[in-house]
Structures are given as structure tokens and as C-alpha cells.
């Protein structure tokens, strides 16, 4: 039997999906790329945004302006996750200012593929990824997770990599597999530690067209098409839509999961 909803009911149903109204959500690394897309999607769902950045202050302030135009509250705050000693103060600051965070999306990561960092040696890239991606993720989410558990509710989302557990050749493959696999395993364990009060999940993106993808060679462009059954690059918005769902109450029975967003790639 086919059920036909009146138009008004359809609109109401769509607007209620993954609703984040009046909730404070922290998005780390929110000034550009995937983080920015996630923050905008959360604002579209009615969520108030803490826009974290490390160095891109002007981009973060632009993100705050764009979020506020949707009618939500937002503010930007900086923390360089390479300085692990600064993380507790950062968590305390945003927790106190928001009077309790509903969700924490830890997207911040070291960009070692573009700019000057692309010229770094293997050891320097590894140190940056371990400090920013892994240690930063673990220390921040461990702290905020404890606070959420004491509060009795909350959701945490981390970012992995779809090829981390199956491997990719080359320096970048090795470096990202090491750090992102660690994040994915940690996220599963943190979910068990914080249950049942707090949910923890991880998104593992595939080939997503961010800064590196925009300038990737013809050989890499062909590889993406060859390895992706849906025959296109993913977009930051593809990640953002799932992030919105996973931190909402509509995903209330989902925790401890690493979910690939990769157009069906299996290699």
C-alpha cells in the first residue's frame, strides 16, 4: 500500500529530520574544506556552532558570519592541536561558554599534501599527523567525552580514512593509514567506554575533492574514477550530510561504528 502524505506534512517531516535546533556543536578544523561543510550543514539543521581553527582566522570568521545568516548562534575560537598542553583549556573554554556541548565533531587534521608541508620529509609529516590528527583527537574527545558522560548525554564524531585498514602504496598511504587506523580503533573503544550516555562514531571518507583533489594530476583523476563505482569524486557536502545525521537523535541507536563515505570503493 502506497502512503501519500499531504505536501505540508512532507515539508514538516523533512525539516524534522536530523534536527539539531538549540544545540551547541563544536566542529574542529571548521574554517575550510570538510569541516566548513559540516558546520554549514549543522547550521542548516538549526544547530549553534563553535568554529574551531588553528591559523585561518579570517576563514573562521567568514564561517561564523555564514552560520549566523541562517539564524543560529556561532563563534570562532583558536587552538593549535600541536600543543597538547593547550587542549584542556580549549575544551574547558568552549564547554563553559556554551554551558554544555551537545555534540563534538573532531575534523581537524594536518594538511601534509599541499602547500609547504608537501615538501616536508617523512619524519616531519609523521610528527605533524601524530600530534594534530591522533593526539589532538584523542585528548580533546577524551576530555569532552568525560564531561558529556557526567552530563548524561552527548555525541562525538571523528574522521578516519576508508583506505586505512586495507592499505595504499607510497609515503602518504603509510602515514595516513597509521594515524587514521589509530583514530578508527580509538573511536570504537571510546564508544564502549562512554556508553550508554554518549555515542561515538567515525566517518571514513574516500576520495573527497578538497584542496589536494582540485589540483590532482590526470593520473590521479583517472585512478579516482577507476576505483569509485559511483564514478565521481566525493564532496565535502557528502560527508557533512552523514555527520549531521550521526550526531542527531535520529542516529540514537548507532554507536561504535566506522562508516565509509567513498562511492562504493572496495579496493
Assess if residue 1 is contained within a domain: no
Strand ranges inside 29-138, DSSP E: 48-53, 74-78, 103-106
Average pLDDT estimate for 3-21? 63
Assess if residue 24 is contained within a domain: yes
Assess if residue 15 is contained within a domain: no
Assess if residue 228 is contained within a domain: yes
Average pLDDT estimate for 153-170? 93
Strand ranges inside the chain, DSSP E: 24-28, 48-53, 74-78, 103-106, 154-159, 198-205, 258-261
For the chain, first and last CA: distance in Å?
40
Average pLDDT estimate for 62-74? 96
Assess if residue 10 is contained within a domain: no
Residue scoring higher pLDDT (117 or 94): 94
Is the pLDDT score of 114 beyond 50? Answer: yes
6 phi and psi angles, rounded to 5 deg? -60, 155
Tens digits of residue pLDDT in 195-216 = 999 999 999 999 888 877 777 7
Assess if residue 25 is contained within a domain: yes
Average pLDDT estimate for 234-254? 96
| CATH code of the domain containing 51 | 3.40.50.720
Average pLDDT estimate for 110-138? 94
Is the pLDDT score of 103 beyond 70? Answer: yes
Going by pLDDT thresholds of 50, 70 and 90, the confidence category of residue 249 is very high
| Number of Cα atoms under 13 Å in the Cβ half of residue 54 | 19
Residue written as grid cell 574542529? 28
Assess if residue 80 is contained within a domain: yes
Assess if residue 153 is contained within a domain: yes
Predicted TM-score of the model (pTM)? 0.90
Q: For residue 199, what are the domain limits?
A: 20-261
Tens digits of residue pLDDT in 30-51 = 999 999 999 999 999 999 999 9
State the total domains in the chain. 1
Amino acid at each position: 500500500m502506497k502512503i501519500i502524505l499531504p505536501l505540508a506534512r512532507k515539508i514538516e517531516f523533512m525539516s524534522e529530520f536530523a534536527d539539531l535546533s538549540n544545540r551547541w556543536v563544536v566542529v574542529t578544523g571548521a574554517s575550510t574544506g570538510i569541516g566548513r561543510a559540516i558546520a554549514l550543514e549543522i547550521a542548516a539543521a538549526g544547530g549553534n556552532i563553535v568554529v574551531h581553527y588553528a591559523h585561518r582566522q579570517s576563514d573562521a570568521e567568514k564561517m561564523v558570519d555564514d552560520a549566523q545568516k541562517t539564524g543560529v548562534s556561532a563563534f570562532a575560537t583558536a587552538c593549535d592541536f600541536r600543543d597538547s598542553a593547550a587542549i584542556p583549556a580549549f575544551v574547558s573554554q568552549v564547554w563553559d561558554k556554551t554551558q554544555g556541548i551537545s555534540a563534538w565533531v573532531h575534523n581537524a587534521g594536518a594538511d601534509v599534501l599541499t602547500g609547504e608541508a608537501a615538501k616536508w620529509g617523512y619524519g616531519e609529516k609523521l610528527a605533524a599527523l601524530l600530534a594534530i590528527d591522533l593526539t589532538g583527537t584523542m585528548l580533546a574527545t577524551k576530555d569532552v567525552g568525560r564531561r558529556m558522560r557526567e552530563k548524561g548525554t552527548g555525541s562525538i564524531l571523528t574522521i578516519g580514512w576508508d583506505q586505512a585498514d586495507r592499505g595504499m602504496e607510497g609515503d602518504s598511504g603509510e602515514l595516513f593509514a597509521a594515524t587514521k587506523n589509530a583514530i578508527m580503533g580509538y573511536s570504537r573503544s571510546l564508544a564502549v567506554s562512554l556508553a550508554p550516555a554518549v555515542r561515538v562514531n567515525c566517518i571514513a571518507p574516500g576520495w573527497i575533492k578538497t584542496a589536494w583533489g582540485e589540483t590532482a594530476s590526470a593520473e590521479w583523476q583517472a585512478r579516482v574514477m577507476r576505483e569509485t563505482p559511483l564514478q565521481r569524486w566525493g564532496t565535502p557536502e557528502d560527508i557533512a550530510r552523514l555527520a549531521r545525521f550521526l550526531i542527531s537523535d535520529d542516529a540514537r541507536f548507532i554507536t561504535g561504528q566506522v562508516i565509509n563515505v567513498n562511492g562504493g570503493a572496495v579496493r
